[in-house]
Amino acid sequence: MAKRITYKSAGVDIDLKEALIPMIRRIARPTIGAHVLSGVGGFGAIIGLDGTRRMRKPMLVAGTDGVGTKLRIAFMTGRHDTVGIDCVAMCVNDIVCHAARPLFFLDYIAAGKLEARIALDIVKGVARGCRDAGASLVGGETAQMPGFYKAGEYDLVGFAVGVADGERMPNPARMRAGDVIIGLASSGLHSNGFSLARKVLIAKAKLGLGARIDELGCALGEELLRPTRIYALAANALFEKFTIKGLANITGGGMPENIPRVMPKGLRAMIRRGSWPVPPVFRMIERIGKIERGEMDRTFNNGIGMAVIVAPVDADAVIAAMRRMRQRAFVIGEVVRGERGVEIN
């Protein structure tokens, strides 16, 4: 008798997916805030907006992003508990630039074959990221796509929604020549530039991910999987206490591409090299790969994860406030008149 063809024999295990739902619900439960009326397991999450009554002009701010080729490091090391943090960070770090307080987060995991251990490790990381961001993990999707991804590989994407008071959103029209640019330290590579980082450190230098690198003070794999810093709480504190004229998430494109996104025409950012400590991993990539400074600038964050633009009178207080929150901050430049863009000297 011929063997029956089923969805499972074709590569999609519905039973496993259903079995994961209560486990994911337990992982997500500690992140749930009072505004969540219905979360994991339904056709959609239901979120209340009662807390916006204190806002003069409440607005929803949404963002989506993925972890990119940093995932390949997770595949190579077999460690999957940190990339979920990256996924949250890449989304919420964008929306907080608009003075948004993260409300909720959803994830999307796609794989050729769903493996329960890996999926749960990923979601644990997502939940940790949500706690760090003050967001609720309210749901997501696990897509099984046989033949679409190689064995042991997956993709990970996230979606974040926050609420902001329009009165506190940065307004480029307020920016003036002489305003100060403050850099908030990154935790390392974050989740950008990994195609170049892998080509230099792994393909060219032949460095093993398990090898301890004295220059880094840890194994290469540990450095490359260091989670992206989540700036949500720091950003929210800044918008509560100060008039923030611009906040730029330094992701793909580095400072040259991201700082101009928050500036008006007629003003230019002047950044001073040497005004902040550059983590060793960037020096390694630059030296081993013989990468030009300009290419480093437009590929990596080089140690600055966020750029904050404030009036000179607020600069010292902003730095002090960040350091009280254990967030290193440095004056890295100023706003000058000129064509919109960034000059790094």
Residue 38 has a pLDDT of: 66
| Assigned domain for 288 exists | yes
Q: Are residues 126 and 200 both part of a single domain?
A: no
In 3D, which of 266, 202, 232, 287 has the Cα closest to residue 90?
232
Residue 58 has a pLDDT of: 87
Domain final residue, candidates 142, 165, 188: 165
Domain final residue, candidates 141, 165, 189: 165
Q: Are residues 214 and 95 both part of a single domain?
A: no
Domain final residue, candidates 106, 138, 165: 165
CATH at 188: 3.90.650.10
| Assigned domain for 94 exists | yes
Q: Are residues 81 and 33 both part of a single domain?
A: yes
| Assigned domain for 5 exists | no
CATH at 72: 3.30.1330.10
| Assigned domain for 7 exists | no
The mean per-residue pLDDT over the stretch 45-67 comes to 83
Q: What is the pTM of this model?
A: 0.91
Q: Are residues 53 and 141 both part of a single domain?
A: yes
> Residue 18 pLDDT > 80, yes or no?
no
Q: Are residues 251 and 285 both part of a single domain?
A: yes
Q: Are residues 205 and 106 both part of a single domain?
A: no
Q: Are residues 339 and 267 both part of a single domain?
A: yes
| Assigned domain for 9 exists | no
Q: Are residues 199 and 327 both part of a single domain?
A: yes
Q: What span, in angstroms and rounded, lies between the C-alpha atoms of 187 and 279?
A: 8
Q: Are residues 98 and 176 both part of a single domain?
A: no
Task: Give me the domain span that covers residue 331.
Answer: 172-344
| Assigned domain for 275 exists | yes
Q: Are residues 188 and 289 both part of a single domain?
A: yes
Question: For all residues of the chain together, what is the average pLDDT?
Answer: 91
pLDDT in tens, 258-277: 999 999 999 999 999 999 99
| Assigned domain for 6 exists | no
Instruction: Band the pLDDT of 72: cuts 50, 70, 90.
Output: very high
Q: Are residues 177 and 160 both part of a single domain?
A: no
Residue 36 has a pLDDT of: 73
Q: Are residues 322 and 182 both part of a single domain?
A: yes
| Assigned domain for 8 exists | no
Split into its structural domains, the chain has a count of: 2
> Residue 1 pLDDT > 80, yes or no?
no
pLDDT in tens, 143-183: 889 889 898 899 999 999 999 998 899 999 999 999 999 99
